Every structure is written in C-alpha cells, then in structure tokens.
Amino acid sequence: MRVFMTGATGFIGSIVVDELQAAGHQVTGLARSDAAAQALAERGVEPRRGDVADPEGLAEGARASDGVIHCAFGHDFSRYVEMGDVDLRAVSAMAQALAGTGKPLVVTSGLTARTPGRLSTEADAAETEGLLAVRGRPEAAALAASRTNVRSVVVRLPPSVHDVQGQGLVSPLIAIARQTGVSAYVGDGANRWPAVHRRDAARLFRFALEHGQPGQRLHAVAEEGVASRSIAEAIGERLGLPVRSLGPDEAAGHFGWFAAVASNDIPASSALTRQTMGWRPAGPGLLDGLRGDYLS
C-alpha cells in the first residue's frame, strides 16, 4: 500500500514509518523543510514538501495515496486551541479528498472522553466542548467521514507514549523535577495515567491501516492507569531527588501550566482494541522504563 503520512519525522510517526516499511508498505511523508525531506529520503521515504496547515496540499497528498495516517500535531501549548483548529482543518481536508473511495484514513487522537469513576473505553465518544474539544473535534470529523465511504479509524493515544527518546506528558514531569529538585505529585497521587510503549503504539497504527473498520475507535493503551505517585517515586528514585505530595495551591506554583494536567485521573481500557485487532502490547512498562534507561 502507498501510504501518505503526516508527522513522519516525529517521535511516534518515525516509528510508524519503520513499522509500515517492515510490512512492505511504501510511505510518502509530509516534509516542512529541506532538512526534513532529506531525513525522510535517507530512510527510504518519499518526501512531499508541504505543511499540515495547508489543507489543499494535504488533500492532494491523500488523493495520490492508497491510504493516510495522520500523526502530526503541534506541541506549542501556548497555542493549543489554535493547534486544534489546524488539526480539524487538516482532518476535514483529507477526509473530503478520500470521500467515496473506501480508502483508509487513520487519525491520531487522545483520551478525551469524560468517564468519572470508571475506565474509559473505545465506545465512549470524545468531548467536543471545552478544552478537550481540541482533540475531540478532529476525532469526530474523522469518524463522520465513515458515512462518505472513507474507512476512517481513530487511534487514541494515552498521556504517556514512552521510549528512551521521550515519555509523552511524563517528560514535563521529569523536566520540572530536574529544575526544582523535587519529584512531586498532587494530593494522594492516586490519579492514574494510561501508558504505552511507542513501538506497541506504532504497531496498532499499522493494524488500523490494514484492518480497521469504518468509524472505529482504537485505544493504544498497554497499561490502564499508572498512579501519579508511582511515577513521581520512579523519577525521584532514578534522579536521586526527594518525592513530595503537594496540595492544590502548592501544585500551581510548582507545576505552573502543567498543574491541571498533573492531577488528571483518566484510566482507560483497550479490551475492545485487543479483541478486534489482535493487538498485544509487548514493550516495557512506563515505570520499568523510568527506573531503567529513560533517565540516564
């Protein structure tokens, strides 16, 4: 299959490229710069110059492919809402370009469904109001494309997609601990974050491309919920730093903009994903990585 990818040089996308190529797929990757184009070419990926903020260019790339995997998303949290608008336009453009073709469109999302008191599942719709709509609205647009004969599939990623090179939203926790000299958590630290090794996540993207069904949501969740206290303790142990519980007022001063994220409790299941896709995560767990070579 000839696959058009956005985010092909990114932390997750680059491993998705490896997974696709190993399975015999040809990859065309969106490249914003000459350096990105060269890096893709050196890995056997055909570069297509463009930008995720150019809907017409994305539509052209989608039409020229047998399928699309959309991994790109901006990481400038000072412009988070704006990044969501860009993402929505990108997803909508590629979905329209593939309308009527039956081709796969695999779109990256996050775990945004609100399910207090229980694990979120693939059956739970994403939030499309408030701040969570930044990821929720593009997800909804992708799934709606299934009604126009697009084999659209959403892969929801947990807060921590981890490997030696990065740990998702755990990376800011590590950076703050290094900066302040304290590895902290909020309250009793019982709030939980799902996690997955990025190679396991990459394999699920390939499964979604090859076997995903129209309108399907998939959870790239290997661990349903790792307690924030356990994460802080693993960071403190590895860095030789004290571990502290912080109240809400202290947390705002310690974590800054990250305080609300640090106290989120968003456990999630991937039972349906495993059952329908035959996906079996095999990578190391988050805490094993933090206590191992992630912080060396």
User: DSSP for 237-267?
Assistant: HHHT--EEEE-HHHHHHHHGGGHHHHT----
Cα–Cα distances (Å) from 29 to 4, 25, 71, 115, in that order, read 6, 12, 11, 36
- Residue 272: which residues within 8 A CB-CB, separation 6 or more? 121, 122, 123, 219
Query: What token pair was written down for 37?
Result: 């184009």
Which CATH architecture is the domain 2-160+196-222 placed in?
3-Layer(aba) Sandwich (3.40)
State whether residue 71 is helix, strand or coil: coil
Residue 69's pLDDT is 98
Residue whose C-alpha is closest to residue 28's, from 142, 155, 218, 36: 36
Query: What token pair was written down for 196?
Result: 């997955």
Contact 3, 27 (CB under 8 A): yes
Residue 1's pLDDT is 97
Please determine, for residue 182, whether its predicted confidence score (pLDDT) is greater than 90. Answer: yes
Write the pLDDT tens digit of every residue in 121-168. Answer: 999 999 888 888 899 999 999 999 999 999 999 999 999 999 999 999
Please determine, for residue 7, whether its predicted confidence score (pLDDT) is greater than 80. Answer: yes
Average pLDDT score over the chain: 96
**Rounded distance, CA 12 to CA 168, Å?**
10
Q: What is the DSSP string of 92-108?
A: HHHHHHHTTS--EEEEE
From the CB of residue 181, how many other CB atoms can be counted at a distance below 10 Å?
10
Which phi and psi angles does 117 have, rounded to 5°?
Answer: 85, 0
Sorted by where each begins, the domain ranges of the chain are 2-160+196-222, 163-194+224-267+283-291
Q: Left (φ > 0), alpha (ψ -120 to 50) or beta: where does 185 sit?
A: beta
**Rounded distance, CA 57 to CA 38, Å?**
19
From the CB of residue 295, how many other CB atoms can be counted at a distance below 10 Å?
17
State the virtual CA torsion across 203, 209, 212, 213 in degrees, nearest 10: 170
Write the pLDDT tens digit of every residue in 24-79. Answer: 999 999 999 999 999 999 999 999 999 999 999 999 999 999 999 999 997 777 78
Contact 133, 127 (CB under 8 A): yes
Residue 217's pLDDT is 98
In the beta sheet, which residues pair with residue 31? 49
Query: What pTM was computed for the model?
Result: 0.96
* Cα 199 off chain centre by: 12
From the CB of residue 281, how many other CB atoms can be counted at a distance below 10 Å?
21
